[in-house]
Structure 1
Amino acid sequence: MDSPSPSSRARVLILCFSPLERDARVLRQIDTLSADFAVTTCGYGPPPRAGIEHVRLPDGLTAWKLDRPLVIARRFRRAYWKQESVVAAWKALQGREFDVILADDVETVPLALALRPKAGVHADLHEYSPRLKEDLLPWRLFVAPYIRWICRTAVAAATSVTTVSEGLAREYEREFGFRTDVLTNAAPYQDRRPAPVQSPVRMVHSGAAMPKRQLEVMIEAAMAVERDAPGSVVFDLYLTPNHPAYVQELRELAAGSAGAVRVLDPVPHADLPAALAAYDVGLFACPDTTFSLEHALPNKFFDYVQARLAIAISPSPEMVALLERHDLGVRSAQMSASSFADALRSLTPERIAHFKQSADRAARALSSEEEMPKLTAIVRRILEGAA
C-alpha cells in the first residue's frame, strides 16, 4: 500500500511514555497535528484530548525499569525490549498501521522504528538525554551508555529529529552526527494585556519539585529581599509533588518568611495562564549541574511571556539569549541566592512595567502558533519523502 499524499488524512501516532494529559509539549503536538492528520496517541492516563483515538498503557508501569545485569553486561538491545513499558506498548499497537510515528524522547524511538510506519519516524528529544543525570555516578556509568546506544542505533536512524534548544541540538550533532532541528516549548498565544504592577510586587514560579533544580535558591532570594524591605514582595511557588519530601522541605523553609513566600499545590494546566497573569514577575533560577539543565529552555519561560510578566532568571545561556533579545527582564550574575536577590532588588516598579510591555510585544513571536507549524511541515516532508 502506497503512503498517502500529504493532502490526505495521513495516520500519525504520537508515542510517549508519560501521562499525556499532563505533558504540555505532547498536548501541543496533538493539537497541532490533529488539524491536518488522523492522530492516535499512545501513553499513560486517560485520553488527553476528546475525539482523538488513544491507546492507554496500563497504569503503574515504569518507563525506565532497566534490567541491571543486562545493562552492566552492555546487552542494551535485550535490556530495552525487556522494559515493561516497551513490551506493553508493543503489544497494544500490534495490528495497527501508521504513516508517521512521532516518538517523544529517546526511550520511544527504537519501538517506533520497530513498528515500521509507512513513511518514517520523527524523534522529538525533550532533553539532552545522554547527560540527563550526569551528576549521579551510577547513572553515568550504567544508564548513560545505554542511552548513547539508543542515540547511535535508533535516533540516528530516524527520518528527522528535533530538540528544545540550540545548545542541545549542537551537542547531538557533535556527539552523534545527526542533524537536530529546534522546536521550542513555546506556549499558546494568550490575548491579554499587561496588568499594572502591584504593591507588594507579586512574584511566581511554577514547575516540578525536584531537588536537582535547587528551588530553595529562589525562596532564599525572595526572603532576603523581603528582609531588606518588609512588605515589598510576595512569592508563590506552584509545585507538582514529584518529590513530596522535598516539597515539605521547601514549605518549612518558606515558613520562615512570615507569609511572604508560599509553596502551593500545582494549578491545572488549563488554568495556568490565568493564574500566572495575576502576578508581576516570573522567576526561574536553574543550576547548571547537568548539560541539560545548563541549556534548559523550559515551558515556564514561555508561560511567563504569555502571562505578560517581567522575568528574572539565573545565567542560563538559552534563556538569557531570548531574555536579552526581547528585553524581557533581568538575570543574576551567578546561580546563588545572594546573586539572585541582587537581580530581584534591581526590579523597580517602573522596570517591571517596562518588561511587561516587552513581553506583550514579544508574545506573538514567542507563541506556539509561530513555533508549532514547524512540526506540521516536518510531518509533511516525511510523507513527501515516502510518496
Structure 2
Amino acid sequence: MSKKKIFVAVTNDVSTDYRVHKICTYLISKNFDVVVYGRVLSNTISVERPYKIVRKKHFFNNNFLFYAEFNIRLFLYLIVRRYNYILSNDLDTLPSCFFASKIKSTNLVYDSHELFSEGPELQGRKFVQSFWRKLEDFFLPKIKNSYTVSQSIVEFYDKKYQNKMGLIRNVPLKKDVLNIEEVSFPTTNRTILYQGVLNPGRGIKPMIKALKLIDNLDLIIIGYGKVENELREFVVKEDMVERVHFIGRIARDKLFNYTQKATLGMVLEEPLGLSFRYSLPNKLFDYIHAEIPIIAGNLPEITRIVKNYKVGVLVNDYNPKTIANAISNLLNNKVLLSEIKENQQKAKDVLCWEIEREKLDYYFK
C-alpha cells in the first residue's frame, strides 16, 4: 500500500522552524510521505532532514508583495500535484492552501503558531491589521481541522468563530540534543539566559538595566533578529559590555548544550498586542527541560505554566528594579532554587513532545 502524502507550507525559515520539523518527523514515523514547501532567505542554512524540502527563491521578501507572490506561486505548485493532506502553517500560507484544497478535494489542516492578526508588528498599522483580520474572518470559520499553540488562543478564536481549535503546544523532546559537546560562556559569573529571536518586546533592555543592580550575574543572549544591532548599541550606551554577551545563532541540535549551562532563564515577553499576551514561548519549556529556574513576566499562559508546575518566579512589571529584586531574592534562596529544580524534573516528563505529538493522530489518519 502506498504511503499517504502530506504537503506542509511555511513562510518561516525551514532550517529553524523547530515546530514544523518535529511535526514532520512524527508524521514520517507514522508512515506518511512528507514534503515541506518554504522559501530561500538570505540567512538560510542548509539542513539534512528525513523529508523532502522544496525552497523557492522569491523576487519580493517583505510586505504585501511577498505574501502575494508566495501564495500565487504556492497555489500554482499545489494545483498540479496531488496530496492526501495539506498542512498550512500560519495565516500567511492559508489562502493558497485553502483554495487548492477545495479545488483538489484535499484534507486541509491548519496550524496557527500565534494569534497572527494581533502580532506586535501589526500594532498601530490599522490598514494592515484590518487586512489580516478579514482573512481570519473569511477562512477560520470554514476550516474543520485546526490547532494552535496555547489555550488562550484556542479560547480567543472559539469565542470569535466557534471553531473549536485543538491545542498542540510547542514543547521539546525529552532528549532534545543531538550533538553533545562541551561548551562554555565567556564569563565566570553566574548567568541569566535569553534564547530566541531578537525582536521588540522580549524584555531584554529592562533586563540589561536590572543587571546593574545585581552583583555577579551576566546576561547571555543566544539568537538573532531585527533588533540585534539596536541591542548591541544599547549595551554600549549603558556601559554593560562586560556583563552582556552575544553568542549569536546556535543550531537547534546543539542549543541544549548551552541552555543547561545557564544559572537562570528569562521569559520576559511584554504584552505588545494579544499575540504576545497569549503566547507560550518555546524557551519557557527549554528552560524547564534544562532545569534552570525561570524569571518570567506575568502573562496568562506563561503564568499558568510557572504557577502550575512551580518552575520559577513571576514579576508583575518590567521595571528594572522589580526584575532585579526578583532575581536577587531567588538567587539568595537556596531552598527555593532546589525546589524549583526538583519540580522541573517532574514537569519535563509531562511537558514533552513525546506526549504532545500524539494529539496529531486526530488530524492525520
CA distance in 2, matches of 1:211, 1:148: 22
**Aligned residue number for residue 207 of structure 1:** 196
CA distance in 2, matches of 1:151, 1:135: 14
CA distance in 1, matches of 2:354, 2:260: 19
CA distance in 1, matches of 2:206, 2:176: 32
- Contact 2:114/2:148 (<8 A) preserved: yes
Q: 1:26 aligns with which of 11, 15, 20?
A: 20
Give structure 1 regions of 4+ aligned residues with deviation exceeding 6 angstroms.
none
**Aligned residue number for residue 153 of structure 2:** 168
Q: 2:346 aligns with which of 349, 361, 381?
A: 361
Query: Over residues 299-327 of structure 1, what are the superposed CA-to-partner deviations in whole Å (9 max), with x where a residue is unaligned?
Result: 11011111111111011111111111111
CA distance in 1, matches of 2:255, 2:21: 14
Q: Which runs of 5+ in 1 are unaligned?
A: 68-79, 193-197, 381-387
**Aligned residue number for residue 359 of structure 2:** 374
Q: 1:281 to 1:60 in 2, by over 3 A?
A: farther
Matched, 1:182 2:143: no
Matched, 1:288 2:275: no
Q: 2:5 aligns with which of 11, 14, 20?
A: 11
CA distance in 2, matches of 1:25, 1:211: 22
CA distance in 1, matches of 2:276, 2:176: 30
CA distance in 2, matches of 1:97, 1:88: 16
Measured after TM superposition, the shift of residue 113 of structure 1 is 1.6
Q: 1:23 to 1:292 in 2, by over 3 A?
A: same
CA distance in 2, matches of 1:48, 1:102: 21
Matched, 1:42 2:37: yes
CA distance in 2, matches of 1:146, 1:160: 23
Measured after TM superposition, the shift of residue 47 of structure 1 is 7.0
**Aligned residue number for residue 130 of structure 1:** 117
Q: 1:263 to 1:53 in 2, by over 3 A?
A: closer
Higher relative contact order (CA 8 A, sep 6+): 1
Q: Which runs of 5+ in 2 are unaligned?
A: 178-186
Total equivalences in the alignment: 347
Measured after TM superposition, the shift of residue 355 of structure 1 is 1.2
Query: Over residues 66-93 of structure 1, what are the superposed CA-to-partner deviations in whole Å (9 max), with x where a residue is unaligned?
Result: 49xxxxxxxxxxxx7xx11112222333
Task: Output aligned runs, 1:238-277, within 5 Å.
Answer: 238-253=222-237, 256-257=239-240, 259-277=242-260
CA distance in 2, matches of 1:352, 1:14: 42
CA distance in 2, matches of 1:97, 1:253: 56
CA distance in 1, matches of 2:19, 2:167: 13
User: What is the RMSD computed on CA atoms of the aligned residues?
Assistant: 2.4
Matched, 1:235 2:219: yes
Q: 1:302 aligns with which of 280, 285, 294?
A: 285
**Aligned residue number for residue 182 of structure 2:** none
CA distance in 2, matches of 1:357, 1:191: 19
User: What TM-score, normalized to structure 2?
Assistant: 0.87
CA distance in 2, matches of 1:336, 1:238: 23
- Contact 2:171/2:352 (<8 A) preserved: yes
Give the match's secondary structure for 2:171.
Answer: coil
**Aligned residue number for residue 384 of structure 1:** none
Measured after TM superposition, the shift of residue 200 of structure 1 is 4.1
CA distance in 2, matches of 1:211, 1:249: 15
Query: Over residues 2-24 of structure 1, what are the superposed CA-to-partner deviations in whole Å (9 max), with x where a residue is unaligned?
Result: xx9xxx62111111112111111
Measured after TM superposition, the shift of residue 276 of structure 1 is 0.4
Query: Over residues 191-245 of structure 1, what are the superposed CA-to-partner deviations in whole Å (9 max), with x where a residue is unaligned?
Result: 89xxxxx98432211011112334201221223212xxxx3x2221113133343
Measured after TM superposition, the shift of residue 330 of structure 1 is 0.5
Measured after TM superposition, the shift of residue 159 of structure 1 is 2.4
**Aligned residue number for residue 74 of structure 1:** none
**Aligned residue number for residue 73 of structure 2:** 88
| Residue type at the aligned position of 2:27 | L
User: What TM-score, normalized to structure 1?
Assistant: 0.83
Q: 2:93 aligns with which of 99, 108, 117?
A: 108
